[in-house]
Amino acid sequence: MSARLDLPGTLSGIKRMAPLSLFVIVFGLAFGVAALQRGLSGLETLLMSALVFAGASQFAALELWGPQIPLIALIATTFAINARHLLMGAALYPWLRHLPTRQRYASLTVLSDANWAMAAADHQRGETNVGMLVGGGLAIWLAWMIGTLMGVVFGSGITDPERYGLDVIMGCFLLAMLVGGKRDLSMLLPWSVAALSALAAMAWLPENSHVIVGALAGGVAGLLVPGKPQKREASA
Amino acid sequence: MNLPMTLIGALTAIVVMALVTYLTRAGGVLVMSRVPIGPKVERFINAMAGSVLVAVITPMAVHGDGAARLALLATLGVMLILRKPLPAIAAGIVSAALWRFWVSL
């Protein structure tokens, strides 16, 4: 198993992410509109989308925005919502370690849920080209920026994406990626543990901790499943 | 500690958010590059990879409205039958939209 990053692979990643990117534009638009309403300037809104590039944490930051911005709360919230990236990155490590260090850490700047899920599926199929991660990430970043810009410029538009079912797209996408991976019944136990732990964490633990708790619990449960003697690949 | 909502204050907040977020993106790989990967670690990672998605999706299904549940169910059903993501996601979105229009009528 090795890994490489090249232009054709990256372009193919962009192409494969194009359909979902259209929906990302809508989310970006919603963020742009919401940010202006919270008192951010157009420039600040665009800068946040460009540099942070993590929708859920950006929306959460808007809740903290005001005459005074509480720095510690901002850091804690951003970290809690984005901490799932830590686990996603760790899961791709067996693949990314074959890349030169610079490429490895540059690729991670565009890591997000959707391109990670598709890249993890590629890795699982034995694909050596990490273009899906980078190309897919670039496509989402670009769509996120276009959407934010449209929101900033037009200032209105789709303010209730719920009505059109747009809010469930990401859930459906991630579910399709999860089920589309290699069928492996030994994952039923860890995944069930993950589901229950996430729900328990949501009920009893601090806000935004449920993804980390569920993922770690699922990982620990995976240690209980008797390993097959041959090499197994990631199941996402 | 609070930042005033001046341009400098807001820019500082944005840059801090960006740094924290990149730390989460790179941190997992950084830590793993210092952990020797044996069969146990590999099993942990493999189980954890899918579990991340499970932990994101389950609360959507449990705490979501009827439209979200129906959408996820439709996606799961089509995915299990056709094994193609695009029709599965489309089925999910259409189900959610139909549900919401139906309920709001």
Q: Is A204 on the interface with B (CB under 8 A)?
A: no
Mean pLDDT of chain B: 88
Position with higher pLDDT, A23 vs A99 = A99
A137/A130 Cα distance (integer angstroms):
11
Q: Is pLDDT at A194 greater than 50 in this prediction?
A: yes
Residue B36 belongs to a domain: no
Residue B25 belongs to a domain: no
Angle formed at CA B35 by CA A99 and CA B43, multiple of 5 degrees? 90
CA distances from A165 to A137, A177, B19 (A): 23, 19, 32
pLDDT at A105: 96
Band of residue B43 on the pLDDT scale cut at 50, 70, 90: confident
Residue B102 belongs to a domain: yes
A169/A165 Cα distance (integer angstroms):
7
Q: What percent of chain B has pLDDT over 90?
A: 44
B77: amino acid identity, one letter = G
Supply B48's token pair.
Answer: 């954890």
Domain ranges of chain A: 7-183, 184-229
ipTM passes above 0.95: no
Residue B98 belongs to a domain: yes
Q: Is A54 on the interface with B (CB under 8 A)?
A: yes
Q: Is A106 on the interface with B (CB under 8 A)?
A: no
Q: What is the CB neighbour count within 10 angstroms for residue B23? A: 16
Yes or no: say if A146 and A29 are a contact pair by the CB < 8 Å rule: no
Number of CB pairs, chain A paired with chain B, less than 8 A apart: 305
CB contact under 8 A, B28 and A178: no
Band of residue B44 on the pLDDT scale cut at 50, 70, 90: confident
Give the DSSP H/E element, type plus range, for residue A199.
helix A188-204
pLDDT at A231: 45
The residues, ordered by sequence, that sit 6+ positions from A37 with a Cβ below 8 Å of its Cβ are none
Instruction: Indicate the number of domains in chain B.
Output: 1
Best residue in B8, B25, B51 for a mutation probing chain A (most A CBs within 10 Å): B51
Residues of B in contact with A195 (CB under 8 A): 54-55, 58
Q: Which domain holds residue B76?
A: 52-105
Residue B71 belongs to a domain: yes
pLDDT tens sequence across B65-94: 888 999 999 999 999 999 888 889 889 988
Residue B95 belongs to a domain: yes
Residue B33 belongs to a domain: no
Residue B19 belongs to a domain: no
pLDDT tens sequence across A60-94: 888 888 888 888 888 988 888 888 899 899 999 99
The single residue listed with the structure tokens 């400098």 is: B8
